[in-house]
C-alpha cells in the first residue's frame, strides 16, 4: 500500500516552486509512490491502466519534470488514458493528487511568472486562511466589484485570487465536515450571485460603450462572458477541492470525488449535466456501433453452398470442383417497433433510448415508435419528418397524446390498444422493443397479448431501467411480462444499452 | 536524428514557423513522443488538423513524410512489403538455360532486389530523417491492426525469408483516428494519446490570421466568433478549421470587412454542408429570411 504521508513531501521537494532553469530531477522512489497512488485511484475509478502505460507515465514524468503542472497533466494524460471520454474523470483525480500543497511551496498569491490558467497555483497558506493578506479587509461589495472588473478584463490571476477569497468567505467550510465539494461550490456561487453575473457583465459592457445593440454582437458577447464565467466556476471548484484535500487527505478525497464514467451513468439518476454529457456521447457511440455491425454483416457474407455455381466454375478446373461457391445471404436488416413508457419516473430513459435507436436508424430497415402513459400514441412521424432528434423529442413531450384517464402508467391498457390497432402489422421481420419499468399501478397487465405479439413478430424484448433486484417489488409486474419476452434486460446505462442494440441487430 | 526538439517551447516555435499553431497540449505530447520514442495516436473530430500535425512536424524537423493511408481491406502486401513475383518469375525463366542449382535460385529470388517496399518498411529502412503518418487507422479491420503492432513497439518488421529488419533510427510516428470504432487495447497501449478538439476562440483567430495573412485582425476575430457560435449549435457536422479558413477567404473575395447577419446568411453554406444544419443556423443566428442572392448549389 502506498505511503500517503510521502506525497506532500515528495511534491514539496521536487515540486512546484523551483525556477525553470534548474530542472528538478525527481527522486525515482518517492515519485514512484505518488504515481502509484495516482494510478491506483484511476483504476479504482474504473479507468483501465495497464502495466506498460504505468511505466510510460514514469518515463514521461522523468522527461518533463514536476515544475510545470500543466505539462505534467498532459504528460500523464497522454500516457495513462486512451479515450477522450475518460478525461474528465482523469482531471478530477489529477487535481486531487497533484493539488499544490501548502507545505514547502513559496506561498503568497500567484507570482508574476504564472500566466496561463493551469499553471501552478501557489494558493494561500493554511486552508481557510485569507488569501492575499489585504483582501480580508474588503467589504463584500468591493469584492464583488473587483471580481466583476477582473472578469471584464479577463485577468486570470486576479480571478483566481478572488475565487480563493470567495471560497474563504462564502463556502463556510468546516474541517472534518462530511459534505461533498458540490455543496460548498453552490454555496459560494450563490453568494457571488453567479447566475446574475452574466447580465451584469453585459450591462457593464453596454455602459462602457464596448457593446452596441446589434443582435449578433450581443450574442457573441454573451458567449464570451459565459466562457469566462465557466472559467471562474472551475477556479472556485478547484480551490474548494484543494482545501478539501488539505483537510481530509488525498485518499479519502479521491474516494468522495469518484465519478462514474459516462457509459456507467445511471439513466434514472443522472444529473442534468450528466444527461448532457450522455447526449453528446450518443452520436459517436452509435456511429462506432454502426460501423462495427456493418463490418460484421459484410464479413459473414457466406451463405449456403451454391451447387450450380460451383459445378459451373469447376469447368475451368477440368471438372474438379476446386473452388466451392456460396450463396450471398439476403441482407436482413430487422424492422424495429419501439414502445416506450414516458411517464415521469422513466421519462429520461425513454427519451434517451428513442434517440439512440433513431440515431442508429440506418441499421434497421424500418423504425416505428409509440409512446404511452396510460394512453398510447404513435410518434414515428415526429422523427421522420424533422430529421432532427432533439426537436423530435421535444415534440414527443409536448404533442403526443398519451394521457387516457389519470396520467399514471397503465401498461395493460397501452398494450391492449397497441395490439388492437397494430397487431396485424407485426410481421416475422419485426422486432418489438418495450421500454419501461413495468410499474403498472396495479392495473390489469394484459400479458397474454404480449405473447400474441411475440408469436407474430420475430423477437420481443423488454428494456427495464431499474436494477434487476427491484423487479417484481411493489407494483412492478416485470416477471409476468418477462415470461412472454425473448429477453428482458436491465438497461441502466449506456454500456448496457449498447450491448443490447448490438444483440438486436445481430439476430 | 539531427533535429530533435529541445523543449516544449521549441516544439511550439518550430511548428509555428511552418504555420502550425500548436496549443500547449499538442506541443507537450509531440515533445514527449520525440523523447520517449513512442508513436502518437491523434484522435478528434474531422478537420481539426490531425493530418496537418504530422505534415507540420515533418516540415519542422526537416524530415521526409511517409504516409500510409488506411482503408478497409488494407493488408500487409500494401502496408509492409511484397515480393515482386513478376521479377521472380523472370529470374526463374532466365535460369532454365543456365541450369544452376535450385537452392541458389531460391536464395536469389528471395533477396532484397526482389522486395517491393511499402510505406511501413520504407520508413524502417530509411536512413534520412522521416516522419511516419498512419492516417485514419480506425478504417482497417481490427485484425489488420495487428500488422502495425510490431512496427509500433519495436520499429522492426519480420520477413520470413529475410529475417528481422530493424530500423536504424526511431522516427516520429503519428497515427490518426476519426474514432469510427474503438481501437484495440494493444494498439492504444503502444501509443501516446492526444485528443485534438476544436480550437479555442483565441487559437482559431490566430490560425485564421496565419493561414489568411491578408485578413485584418477585427475580421479574423469576428470570423472566429461566428464559428464558435455555430459550433455551439446542435448541428450534424460542425465546421472544421479548414472550413473556417475557407469562409475567411470567401469573405475577403467578396470584399467584406465586417460580418453582419446578411453576410452570414449569404455565405453560411461555406461553413455548413447539410441543408438541415444551414436552416437551423439561420434560424438560430437570426439571419432568417430569403437569401439576398439565390446561391447555386
pLDDT of residue A475: 86
Q: Which of residues 426-445 of A touch B (CB under 8 A)?
A: none
- Does any CB of chain B come closer than 8 Å to the CB of residue A53? yes
CB contact under 8 A, B280 and A388: yes
Contact predicate A454/A460, CB 8 Å? yes
Distances (CA, A) of B193 to A92, A271, B16, B132: 18, 29, 22, 16
Q: Which of B29, B30, B32 to mutate to test the interface with A (most CBs of A within 10 A)?
A: B32
Query: Which pLDDT score is estimated for A10?
Result: 43
DSSP state of A305: B
Chain B interface includes A84 (CB < 8 A): yes
Please check whether residue A87 touches B, CB under 8 A.
yes
Instruction: With CB atoms and an 8 Å threshold, state whether B232 touches A78.
Output: no
- Check CB contact of A48 with chain B, cutoff 8 Å: yes
Contact A64 B32 (CB under 8 A): yes
> Cβ A56–B276 below 8 Å, yes or no?
no
Give the CA diameter of chain B.
Answer: 85
Residues of B whose CB is below 8 A from A77: 193
In DSSP notation, A316-357 reads GGTT---S--BPPPPP-PPEEEEEEE-SGGGHHHHHHHHHHH
Predicted local confidence at residue A112, as pLDDT: 37
Name which of A50, A287, A387 is nearest B276 (Cβ-Cβ): A387
- Cβ A151 vs Cβ A201: under 8 Å: yes
Distance, CA of B11 to CA of B29 (rounded, Å): 10
* Interface with chain B: mutation pick from A21, A47, A69, A74, highest number of B CBs within 10 Å: A74
- Mean pLDDT per 10-residue run, chain A (507 residues)? 43 42 54 83 85 90 86 93 86 81 35 38 40 62 84 82 85 73 82 83 80 76 87 86 78 72 78 76 73 66 78 80 76 80 82 81 83 86 73 76 77 90 88 87 85 88 89 88 89 84 68
Q: Is B194 on the interface with A (CB under 8 A)?
A: yes
Domain A274-300+332-506 annotated CATH 3.40.50.800 = no
- H-helix or E-strand spanning residue B131: strand B130-135
**Residue A71, C-alpha cell as written in the block:** 505539462
In order along chain B (297 residues), what is the average pLDDT of each group of 10 residues? 77 92 92 92 90 93 92 85 86 75 83 89 90 91 82 86 86 89 86 93 91 90 90 84 92 86 86 85 72 47
Residue of chain A whose alpha carbon sits nearest to that of B184:
A82
Q: Closest to B32 (Cβ–Cβ): which among A53, A60, A291?
A: A60
Contact criterion met (CB < 8 Å) for B286 and A64? no
Say if B283 is an interface residue toward chain A (CB within 8 Å).
no
Length of chain A: 507
Cα angle vertex B194, ends B192, B197, to 5°?
A: 175
Beta carbons of B189 and A52 less than 8 Å apart? yes
Look at A50 and B185 and tell me if their CB atoms are within 8 Å.
yes
Q: For residue A84, which residues of chain B lie inside 8 Å, CB to CB?
A: 43-44, 195
The verdict on a CB contact (< 8 Å) between A78 and B28 is yes
Phi (first) and psi of residue B93, to 5 degrees: -60, -40
pLDDT score at B25: 92
Cβ B24–A70 below 8 Å, yes or no? yes
Quote the minimal CA–CA distance from B193 to chain A in Å. 5
The answer to whether B282 faces chain A, any CB pair under 8 Å, is no
At residue B18, the pLDDT reads 92
Residues of A in Cβ contact (< 8 Å) with B191: 82
A422 CA to chain B: closest CA distance, Å? 32
Residues in chain A within 8 Å Cβ distance of B182 = 288
Kindly determine whether residue A116 and residue B24, on different chains, have CB atoms separated by under 8 Å: yes
Q: Determine, for residues B261 and A216 on separate chains, whether the beta-carbon distance falls below 8 Å.
A: yes
Question: CA torsion A466→A345→B233→A286, rounded to 10°?
Answer: 30
The confidence score (pLDDT) of residue A241 equals: 81
Nearest residue in chain A measured CA to CA from B33: A60
Q: Which helix (H) or strand (E) holds A473?
A: none
Establish if A295 touches chain B: CB-CB under 8 angstroms.
Answer: yes
Residues of A within 8 A of B38 (CB-CB) are: 56
pLDDT of res. A320: 81
Kindly list the residues from chain B whose CB atom is less than 8 angstroms away from the CB atom of residue A71.
8, 24, 28
Å from B194 to nearest chain A CA?
6
Nearest CA to A17 among A89, A97, A139, A122?
Answer: A122
Q: Which residue of A has its CA nearest to B141?
A: A295
Q: β-strands B156-159, B163-166: how paired?
A: antiparallel
**CA distance to A116, A358, A457, A461, per residue, from A482 (Å):** 57, 25, 16, 9
Residue bearing cell 506498460: A52
Distance from C-alpha of A167 to C-alpha of A240, rounded to nearest angstrom: 7
Task: Please answer yes or no on whether A295 and B141 come within 8 Å at the CB atom.
Answer: yes
Do A354 and A369 contact (CB within 8 A), yes or no? yes
Decide if A216 and B286 are in contact by the 8 Å CB cutoff.
yes
Instruction: Name the residue facing B24 among A74, A82, A284 (closest C-beta).
Output: A74
Interface contact B28-A223, CB threshold 8 A: no
Across the interface, whether the CB atoms of B195 and A84 are under 8 A apart is answered yes
The verdict on a CB contact (< 8 Å) between A87 and B232 is no
CA dihedral A385, A391, A394, A398 (to 10 degrees): -50
Please tell me which of the candidates B36, B44, B181 has its beta carbon nearest to residue A59. B36
pTM (predicted TM-score): 0.73
User: Measured between beta carbons, which residues in chain A are less than 8 angstroms from residue B276?
Assistant: 387-388
**Record: contact B32-A220, CB cut-off 8 A:** no
Collapse the DSSP code of B62 into the 3-class scheme (helix H, G, I; strand E, B; otherwise coil) and give the result.
Answer: coil
Amino acid at each position: 500500500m502506498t505511503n500517503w504521508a510521502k506525497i506532500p513531501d515528495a511534491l514539496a521537494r521536487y515540486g512546484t516552486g523551483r525556477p525553470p532553469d534548474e530542472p528538478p530531477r525527481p527522486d525515482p522512489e518517492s515519485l514512484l509512490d505518488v504515481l502509484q497512488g495516482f494510478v491506483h485511484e484511476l483504476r479504482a475509478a474504473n479507468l483501465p491502466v495497464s502495466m506498460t502505460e504505468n511505466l510510460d507515465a514514469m518515463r514521461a514524468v522523468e522527461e518533463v519534470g514536476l515544475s510545470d503542472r500543466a505539462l505534467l497533466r498532459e504528460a500523464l494524460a497522454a500516457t495513462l488514458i486512451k479515450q477522450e471520454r475518460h478525461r474528465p474523470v482523469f482531471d478530477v483525480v489529477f487535481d486531487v493528487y497533484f493539488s499544490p500543497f501548502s507545505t514547502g511551496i513559496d506561498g503568497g498569491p500567484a507570482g508574476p511568472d504564472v500566466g496561463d490558467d493551469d499553471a501552478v497555483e501557489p494558493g494561500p497558506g493554511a486552508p481557510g486562511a485569507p488569501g492575499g493578506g489585504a483582501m480580508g479587509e474588503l467589504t463584500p461589495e468591493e469584492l464583488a466589484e473587483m471580481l466583476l472588473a477582473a472578469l471584464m478584463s479577463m485577468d486570470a490571476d486576479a480571478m483566481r485570487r478572488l475565487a480563493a477569497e470567495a471560497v474563504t468567505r462564502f463556502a463556510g467550510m468546516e474541517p472534518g465536515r462530511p459534505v461533498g465539494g458540490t455543496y460548498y461550490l453552490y454555496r459560494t456561487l450563490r453568494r457571488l450571485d453567479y447566475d446574475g453575473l452574466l447580465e451584469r457583465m453585459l450591462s457593464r459592457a453596454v455602459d462602457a460603450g464596448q457593446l452596441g445593440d446589434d443582435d449578433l454582437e450581443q450574442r457573441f458577447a454573451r458567449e464570451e462572458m459565459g466562457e469566462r464565467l465557466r472559467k471562474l466556476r472551475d477556479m472556485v471548484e478547484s480551490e474548494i477541492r484543494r482545501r478539501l484535500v488539505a483537510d481530509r487527505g488525498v485518499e479519502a478525497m479521491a474516494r468522495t470525488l469518484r465519478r462514474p464514467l459516462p457509459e456507467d451513468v445511471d439513466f434514472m439518476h443522472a444529473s442534468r449535466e450528466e444527461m448532457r454529457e450522455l447526449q453528446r456521447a450518443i452520436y459517436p457511440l452509435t456511429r462506432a456501433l454502426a460501423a462495427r455491425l456493418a463490418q460484421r454483416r459484410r464479413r459473414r457474407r457466406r451463405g449456403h453452398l451454391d451447387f450450380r455455381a460451383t459445378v459451373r466454375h469447376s469447368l475451368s478446373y477440368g471438372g474438379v470442383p476446386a473452388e466451392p461457391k456460396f450463396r450471398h445471404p439476403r441482407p436482413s436488416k430487422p424492422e424495429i417497433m419501439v414502445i416506450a413508457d414516458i411517464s415521469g419516473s422513466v421519462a429520461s430513459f425513454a427519451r434517451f433510448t428513442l434517440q439512440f435507436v433513431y440515431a442508429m436508424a440506418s441499421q434497421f430497415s424500418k423504425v416505428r415508435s409509440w409512446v404511452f402513459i396510460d394512453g398510447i400514441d404513435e410518434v414515428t412521424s415526429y422523427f421522420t419528418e424533422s430529421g432532427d432528434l432533439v426537436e423530435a423529442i421535444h415534440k414527443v413531450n409536448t404533442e403526443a397524446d398519451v394521457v387516457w384517464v389519470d396520467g399514471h402508467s397503465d401498461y395493460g391498457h397501452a398494450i391492449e390498444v397497441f395490439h388492437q390497432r397494430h397487431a396485424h402489422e407485426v410481421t416475422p421481420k419485426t422486432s418489438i422493443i418495450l421500454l419501461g419499468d413495468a410499474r403498472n399501478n396495479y392495473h390489469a397487465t394484459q400479458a397474454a397479448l404480449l405473447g400474441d405479439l411475440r408469436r407474430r413478430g420475430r423477437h420481443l424484448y423488454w428494456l427495464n431501467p431499474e436494477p434487476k433486484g427491484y423487479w417484481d417489488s411493489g407494483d412492478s409486474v416485470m416477471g409476468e411480462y418477462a415470461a412472454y419476452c425473448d429477453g428482458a434486460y436491465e438497461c441502466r446505462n449506456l454500456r448496457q444499452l449498447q450491448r443490447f442494440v448490438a444483440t438486436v441487430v445481430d439476430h | 536524428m539531427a533535429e530533435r526538439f529541445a523543449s516544449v517551447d521549441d516544439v511550439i516555435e518550430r511548428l509555428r514557423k511552418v504555420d502550425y499553431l500548436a496549443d500547449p497540449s499538442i506541443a507537450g505530447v509531440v515533445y514527449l513522443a520525440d523523447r520517449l520514442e513512442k508513436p502518437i495516436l491523434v484522435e478528434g473530430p474531422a478537420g481539426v488538423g490531425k493530418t496537418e500535425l504530422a505534415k507540420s512536424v515533418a516540415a519542422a524537423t526537416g524530415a521526409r513524410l511517409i504516409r500510409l493511408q488506411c482503408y478497409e481491406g488494407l493488408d500487409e502486401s500494401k502496408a509492409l512489403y511484397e515480393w515482386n513475383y513478376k521479377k521472380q518469375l523472370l529470374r526463374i525463366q532466365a535460369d532454365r538455360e543456365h541450369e544452376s542449382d535450385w537452392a541458389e535460385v531460391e536464395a536469389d529470388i528471395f533477396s532484397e532486389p526482389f522486395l517491393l517496399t511499402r510505406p511501413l518498411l520504407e520508413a524502417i529502412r530509411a536512413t534520412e530523417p522521416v516522419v511516419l503518418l498512419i492516417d485514419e487507422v480506425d478504417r482497417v479491420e481490427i485484425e489488420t491492426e495487428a500488422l502495425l503492432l510490431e512496427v509500433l513497439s519495436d520499429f522492426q518488421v519480420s520477413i520470413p525469408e529475410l529475417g528481422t529488419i530493424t530500423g536504424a533510427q526511431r522516427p516520429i510516428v503519428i497515427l490518426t483516428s476519426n474514432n469510427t470504432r474503438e481501437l484495440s487495447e494493444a494498439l492504444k497501449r503502444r501509443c501516446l494519446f492526444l485528443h485534438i478538439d476544436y480550437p479555442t476562440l483565441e487559437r482559431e483567430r490566430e490560425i485564421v490570421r496565419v493561414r489568411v495573412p491578408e485578413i485584418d485582425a477585427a475580421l479574423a476575430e469576428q470570423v472566429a466568433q461566428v464559428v464558435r457560435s455555430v459550433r455551439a449549435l446542435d448541428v450534424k457536422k460542425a465546421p472544421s478549421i479548414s472550413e473556417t479558413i475557407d469562409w475567411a477567404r470567401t469573405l475577403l473575395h467578396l470584399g467584406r470587412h465586417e460580418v453582419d447577419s446578411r453576410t452570414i446568411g449569404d455565405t453560411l453554406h461555406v461553413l455548413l454542408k447539410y441543408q438541415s444544419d444551414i436552416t437551423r443556423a439561420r434560424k438560430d443566428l437570426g439571419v432568417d429570411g430569403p437569401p439576398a442572392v439565390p446561391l447555386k448549389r
